[in-house]
Structures are given as C-alpha cells and as structure tokens.
Structure 1
Amino acid sequence: MRYTDIFKTWMVLCLALINFGICYVELDDEAEFQAEVEPTVTIAILARNAASNLPWFFGGIENLNYPKHRIDIWISTDHNEDDTESVLKTWIDAMKPLYHNINLTIGESSRYVDEAGEHLGHWSEMRYDHVIRLRQEALDLARHRWSDYLLMIDSDQFIHDRNLLRHLISQDKPVIAPMMNSTSLYTNFWGAVTDDGFYKRSDDYLDILERFKTGTFNVPMVHSIFLINLRHEVTRHLQYYPPHPAYVAAPDDIIQFSFSARYNNVPMFVTNARYYGSLIPPVEKGPKFLQLVADYGLYIRLVHIHEELVLEPSKHVPLPPPKFDNKLGFDEIYLINLERRPDRRIMMEQALAELGIEYKYFPAVDGRQLNETYLDQLGVKQLEGYLDPYHKRPMKMGEIGCFLSHYFIWKEMEEKGYNRILIFEDDVRFRVNFIRYFYEMMAEADRHINGWDLLYIGRKIMQNNEDFVINSRHLVYPGYTYWTLSYAVTRSGLKKLLAQDPIAKMLPVDEYLPIMFGAHTNKEWLEKFFPRDVTALSANPLFVEPLKYIGEEGYVSDTEDSLPITESKQEASSVEVCVSSIRLHVVLL
C-alpha cells in the first residue's frame, strides 16, 4: 500500500472517530476561526403605482446594515398606471450584482377586469385574490430557498433605522413587525380583532402608537412590513393561500394571514422600541390617487427634515422632478431667518427644495444687535401705552427686530412694484398635501374675495368660531390672531399697512396685523390706527404650523430671548446691524 493510500485511510478513520466523539484533534491555540455568517433573508416586495416614492423606499432597503450577499430580493409588480416598472428595472440593473439574487416578476399592465369603471386605488375582489396568491408565492419561494427569514414589505414603507433587520432578528419571535409612524392613527398593526377577525381598537392601541408604552407587544395582526422567522417550527403552518377551510370571510390578504396565525397558534408581535420609519396611510380613491400617494410620500420626507432625521433616496433611481410653479404664482417668496440660526435655515432650505419652491433668503433683523440710537435713526417708537398683554412689559428688542424684518420686506415689495408676495418665517412645518391645497386655496381667494389684502397661511388662532368664506373649502375670516408664521400680502394690502407709518407707533407685528383688519380685542390700541380696512383671510385648516409649541422640548423663542427696550438701552455700547439690502454700521464711542 502506498503512503498516500495510508494517509487517506488514516484521515477517514480520524474523521469518523471525531464524529462519534471517540477522539479529537487539538488545533493550534492561535488558529483563527471565522465568525458565523448572518442568517439568510428573503425580502418580498409588492409594488404598484409606486414610482413617485420608490427612490426613498429603495434608499431604505439599500441602507440596511446587513450583508447584501445574504439577502434574496423578490419583487412583483403589475397593473401600473405610472413608471413603476421602469424605476424597478433601473434599480435592479444597478443593484443586482450586490445581492445574492434579485428576481422581478412583471404582470399585466391594464387594470383588473372588475376594477374597470372604479376609481384608481379601488380594491376589487380580483385584486385581493391576486395579491393573496402573490404573497403565498413569496412565502413558498423563501421556504424553497431555505431562507432563515422572510421580510414582507410593501412599497409604501420608508425605512429609517439602518439596523431594522438586525433588531427584528434579535427579538427571536415567530412573526414580528416594526411599528411604523404615520400621519394619522393608522399604522401597521391591530391591537385587537373582532370574533370575525375584523379590526377592533384595543385599550392600549394609542398608548403603543404614541409610545407612551414601549417594548414588544403580542398583537393579533401585523401587516405592510413584518419579519417571519422561518426557522421557528410553528411558522411552517402559516399560509395566505389557499385559505384555511375554517376561514369564511371575504378575500383579504392581511385578514387571511392573521387568521392562519391565530388558528395555528403562531403569535404575532409588534415592537415600538425604536423609530424604524414611516408608512403612507390608505389614500382616498379617485382620479387624484397617484398625486395623493406622491403628496403623502413628500409629507413623510418633510417630517424627517423637520425632526432632523435622515431619509436618504437611492443613488440608483432618478428623482421625480417637481411638477408645479416654483413661486406658486407670487412675484417673490421670502424666507426670514436670523443669521445666527443656520440650523433653521438649512432645515427650511431642505423643506422648500422638497416642495420645489423658489424663494429669496432675507436676513432677519437681530434684536440682540439693536440699540436705542439706531432705532431713533429709523424713527422707531413704541406705541404709547403698549404693554405686553401677558407679562405687562414694554416690547423686547427681539420683537422689534421681528417687526423690522417684516417691515423691510414690505418696503422692498413697495420699491420693486410687486403685486403679491409670500412670507415664511424659519420655524414652520408644512401640512400634508401643502402644494395641492395651497393652489386650491389661492384660487378660492381670487374667485370669492375680490381685492383681498392679507392671507394667513399659518398663525395662532386666538378666537373660535371663525366664519368660513361662502362657497369656500379652505378659507375663513380670521379673528384675533397671534404669530406670523406665514402669510401673503397683495399690493392693496401693502399700501394699507404702510400708510399707518407703523414704526412710529410700533407694537409686535402679530398685534399690528389683527388691528389692521379690526379683529384686535384691545380697543385702546385699535383707536390708534385708522382706517382699519385690511381685508384679511386665513387658511383653515392652517397649511403651516410651528416646529415647536411653547413647553415642548427644544422650543426656543428668538423674540422672547432678548431684553426689553429700557434694559437693552443700558447694555448697548456697540452694534453692527445688517438689514437686507440696507447695511448700516453704527459704533457708539
């Protein structure tokens, strides 16, 4: 027998003995071992009419902190009336080499037969049946490929947490969903179900949704995005199709799957321990369905900007271009911002860019840099008898700076002959569907109120029961109002505001405006201004609101964070004041 044959025989014998635990081979203490590879994951994606939001959906998938070579992706799309198919192909062409596999199935391009004549977004019986079979196909595929986990996710989910997959896997639950934030009380779990398996509000639903209670909770229903642990023995009984013989309700993918879980004693869980991302709530069916889907996706991106969170789009999918007038029909749009608050400027620039709004940056007058000498040169005088209604003090320098910021914009409007301008302060957040509702509101104002002067976009309502403009959906006649978050001014309104020489009898700008349309509650102040003939309107509901309300964590008032007039006079010794196009340097010696 040759030595090579002897060696082979010895190796086989050793391996056999090791297998039966009879002997062992001692390895070098310094031998290096590779760590265990991560579990395999199949991600199943259903996408229909999702083109407007796919860049951000895929951005969340790409950025998951999980090795791509351990991930299979299965995508199915059909019955599209937008560019969903094209966007999917573009992304797959760029990303396929990075993942273990990506499979795309493209179905019919026309509507379902029983969807004809219905509004876009309608869930017909044929659509339910088709989606149920697709979800079962994804489940069967993941099992056939021996995947350890299956992440079911719809294309209206926006993942923020890069560690979402790892965190869900670490929970070691048969079925678990990350709770996704929403623009309403809707989210991706049910707290309870009726005896028939339909939705029921549980006592703790809002506590979980609002994160008054945090952790992982056993729930009867999860949907839209959830992880199935295929290594758990109990999950092998889960199915979408065919429905269990005991299931007697109408076809519905999420209800059938929930029934399957309950019938087979497979517990479902939702976790709200972290912020995982957001989802688009159900959108109103109709001719504007696709635009509403896009608007909700835009709103989610705005929320991330306002909350200083990151929601990155895919680098491999072209972003959809804005489809509206950059200046919303105005001669100029102004953004007022204190130069010492670059954080707010950056946030607003990002938000306005998302909205496709072109604007002019206008440096605010900083109350901290004002002094009595400069105010005297401008002719600024506080209104005789003015005291803050709540604190019984004279105006603060921040309030004067705020008034001057608005006043200098009014003057620029006058000098340039503008007919309409729109002003934003730098601490606002935009409501959902802002652009669409804004255009509707402006059309109503021009149609119903000929010669309007002032239109609030955002404010603090101080009186209830304001009257709606007749035949208007979006407009009311404002009562006493605080704040100047955002408003529009016409040429006629400008003339009325400047005719009073307001800096010669100054009070805070959000007190001055309601005086000029006769809605102020202080009769003594009202009598100091005449005529009070500004025709004022307001959006209702409001289209912008403050980033933070008084008392909320992180709230800062730049007008309140300054000294009253008499105290600031004693402290001022030198000042550099920058006011838009007027730059004045004053040195007190």
Structure 2
Amino acid sequence: MGTDANIPAFVINLDRDIERWQDISSALTRLGVPYERIPAINAKNRMTLIRRVIRRDFHFAPADRPMKAGEIGCYLSHVAALKRIVRKNLPMAIIFEDDAAFDERFPQFYKHDLARFLTKSDIVKFEGIHYAHTSKSGVSLIKGEAAQLVVPLKPALGSAAYAVTRKGAIGLIKALSVTDRPLDHKLVYYDRHGIDFAETLPFLVSQAAYESSIELRNLDAPPLQPAERLRRGVASVGRGAKRIAYVARLLVKRRLLGAKSPSAA
C-alpha cells in the first residue's frame, strides 16, 4: 500500500552540466518526484572568495592531503541543499547529485518505502559505493516492499542520493560546519555526527557514467609509515566499538522498547 507522502527532491547541479540536468530532470518527471535545482558551487572558479569567507585550511587529515576544489564545492553545495530543506520547513526531503541513475525498483521504493523508512532513521542513504573495507549488509531495522533498511557497521561511501528528515538536516548542517574531509565521509560517519543513519539494501540509485566533476584523488600517495598504520588501526577499532554500541542502542530504542523515533513524533 502506498503512502500519501510526496517527498520533494533537491538536485545539485553545476551550471555547465546542462546534459546532466536534462537527464535527471526528465527522469524525475517520469518518476513523479517533485524537484528543485540547487546551483552547485563551482569552487574551481570561486576559491578566492570561498577562502575569504571560510578562513580555514581545507585539509583532509586522514589522507594527509589538501581537499580538491571539486570536493570543497560538492561539500558546500550539499550544505546549501540542507539549509534549503530547513528554511522551507519540510518534514522530509531527498538530496540528489545530478549523476544519479535510478534502479527499476525506485518508483516502488519512493511510493511505498521511503516515508516509512524516514520514521525509523533521520538519514536514509539509498546510493553507495562499496570498497573492500565497507559492509555489504547490516542490522535490519525494517523491511519494505522494494528494499530493507539496515544499519551497516562500515557504511558505503558516495553521496549521490539520500533522504533526510528536518531533524536530520539540522543535525547534518551542524556536523558539516567544518569542511575537513569529503562530504560522503562526513555523511556516513554516524558514530561521529550522532544522527540516526541507515542505508537501503539494495541501493536503489547508482552513479551514472559521466566524467567526474571532482578531480581524481592522488592514487600515487607514498606508503604509510608503521606508526601511522598503527594509529589508523587503533582509530579503526575505536570507531568499530562506537558503531556497535550505536547499533545496540538503536535496536533497544526501536525494537525492544517500541519507542517512536523523534522524527516520527
């Protein structure tokens, strides 16, 4: 049975990416998803202004490298989309990057599952990129008609498609106040931002085969020194412990106590 929720979408799109905008706007029209364009911030052309307004080093400490201009622009564009959701006082909304491509099950997910999922989690991510270190499954919160909602211990990266409640948008704006790593890293680190986070299984959106708007990252970085490898290993164990504790608390709150999510109140 469908829901009455007509969840709006905000699409991040650079002015120069006309083909992308035509493709995704046509797709969303066919899918019956109301949408609004968010002009993406072209940091390559505006870095002087950005550095004047945001007085900090844009340094991705875990990788020991400066953030790319494209990463900074993407990050700030997502913040702009989240602020639009809060200003419009929307109870829930979707954020898409303009390279989103839709699975054939997406219409069923949108009509039947997404609003229900957003009563269980303030961030619902339904696109992701898996690596060797990410989880391809997770603790199930609810089973929908097109997908399950799960909490992975090691979330997938990528930020091409996710939905938030208003509470989630407010929390993310606060969590994203310091631009110190790519947006997708901040989005999925629920042990740090503390916002209820979950993914769909399977993902209902993927990234289309466009040339990336974000510069390629340095794949020829020097090997880590032993001390740095040890530090990262210890940090990884700490993150894992925090995530296990988070999932345990979530299960108690959602299942054993039958408590309503704050986002559904």
Q: Does 1:423 align with 2:131?
A: no
Could you tell me whether the CA contact under 8 Å between 2:82 and 2:170 is conserved in 1?
no
Q: Does 1:489 align with 2:158?
A: no
1:438 aligned to which of 103, 110, 134: 110
Aligned to 1:567: none
Could you tell me whether the CA contact under 8 Å between 2:157 and 2:184 is conserved in 1?
yes
1:401 aligned to which of 46, 56, 73: 73
**Secondary structure in 2 matching 1:481:** coil
Q: 1:393 Cα deviation (Å)?
A: 2.9
Cα distance in 1 for residues equivalent to 2:57 and 2:112: 40
Q: Does 1:541 align with 2:212?
A: no
2:125 aligned to which of 433, 446, 456: 456
Q: Does 1:385 align with 2:61?
A: yes
Give the 4+ runs in structure 1 shifted more than 3 A.
Answer: 378-381
Could you tell me whether the CA contact under 8 Å between 2:123 and 2:198 is conserved in 1?
yes
Q: Does 1:351 align with 2:22?
A: no
Gaps in structure 1 of 5+ consecutive residues: 1-287, 289-322, 519-528, 549-554, 564-589
Query: 1:507-560 CA distances to partner (integer Å, 9 max, x unpaired)?
Result: 110011122x12xxxxxxxxxx5xx31111111111111112xxxxxx411111
Query: 1:309-339 CA distances to partner (integer Å, 9 max, x unpaired)?
Result: xxxxxxxxxxxxxx997xx532x31111111
Q: Does 1:560 align with 2:201?
A: no
Could you tell me whether the CA contact under 8 Å between 1:441 and 1:539 is conserved in 2?
no
C-alpha distance 470-508 of structure 1, shift in aligned 2 (>3 A)? closer
Q: Does 1:335 align with 2:27?
A: no
Please tell me the residue identity of whatever aligns with 2:36: K
Could you tell me whether the CA contact under 8 Å between 2:60 and 2:67 is conserved in 1?
no
- Alignment RMSD, CA only? 2.7
Cα distance in 2 for residues equivalent to 1:374 and 1:446: 33
Please tell me the residue identity of whatever aligns with 1:485: A
Cα distance in 1 for residues equivalent to 2:162 and 2:141: 21
> How is 1:251-266 mapped onto 2 (pairs within 5 angstroms)?
none
Q: 1:386 Cα deviation (Å)?
A: 4.5
Query: Number of residues paired by the alignment?
Result: 212
**Secondary structure in 2 matching 1:511:** helix
Cα distance in 2 for residues equivalent to 1:510 and 1:488: 14
Aligned to 1:507: 181
Q: 1:562 Cα deviation (Å)?
A: 9.6
Cα distance in 2 for residues equivalent to 1:562 and 1:438: 33
C-alpha distance 471-560 of structure 1, shift in aligned 2 (>3 A)? same
Please tell me the residue identity of whatever aligns with 1:359: Y
Greater share of residues in helix: 2
Q: Percent sequence identity over matched residues? A: 25
**Secondary structure in 2 matching 1:537:** strand
Could you tell me whether the CA contact under 8 Å between 2:10 and 2:37 is conserved in 1?
yes
Please tell me the residue identity of whatever aligns with 2:169: L
C-alpha distance 560-446 of structure 1, shift in aligned 2 (>3 A)? closer
| TM-score, normalised with respect to structure 1 | 0.33
Cα distance in 2 for residues equivalent to 1:411 and 1:379: 20
Could you tell me whether the CA contact under 8 Å between 1:467 and 1:477 is conserved in 2?
yes
Cα distance in 1 for residues equivalent to 2:136 and 2:208: 25
Please tell me the residue identity of whatever aligns with 2:215: E
Please tell me the residue identity of whatever aligns with 1:506: D
Q: 1:366 Cα deviation (Å)?
A: 1.0
Q: 1:445 Cα deviation (Å)?
A: 1.6
C-alpha distance 556-471 of structure 1, shift in aligned 2 (>3 A)? closer
Query: 1:76-131 CA distances to partner (integer Å, 9 max, x unpaired)?
Result: xxxxxxxxxxxxxxxxxxxxxxxxxxxxxxxxxxxxxxxxxxxxxxxxxxxxxxxx
Could you tell me whether the CA contact under 8 Å between 2:70 and 2:213 is conserved in 1?
yes
Query: 1:565-587 CA distances to partner (integer Å, 9 max, x unpaired)?
Result: xxxxxxxxxxxxxxxxxxxxxxx
**Secondary structure in 2 matching 1:557:** coil
Query: 1:471-529 CA distances to partner (integer Å, 9 max, x unpaired)?
Result: 514211133321111101112212222223x34342110011122x12xxxxxxxxxx5
Aligned to 1:122: none
Higher relative contact order (CA 8 A, sep 6+): 2
Aligned to 2:38: 362
| TM-score, normalised with respect to structure 2 | 0.71
Q: 1:361 Cα deviation (Å)?
A: 1.1
Aligned to 1:210: none
Could you tell me whether the CA contact under 8 Å between 2:11 and 2:96 is conserved in 1?
yes
**Secondary structure in 2 matching 1:482:** coil
Aligned to 1:480: 155
Q: 1:466 Cα deviation (Å)?
A: 2.4
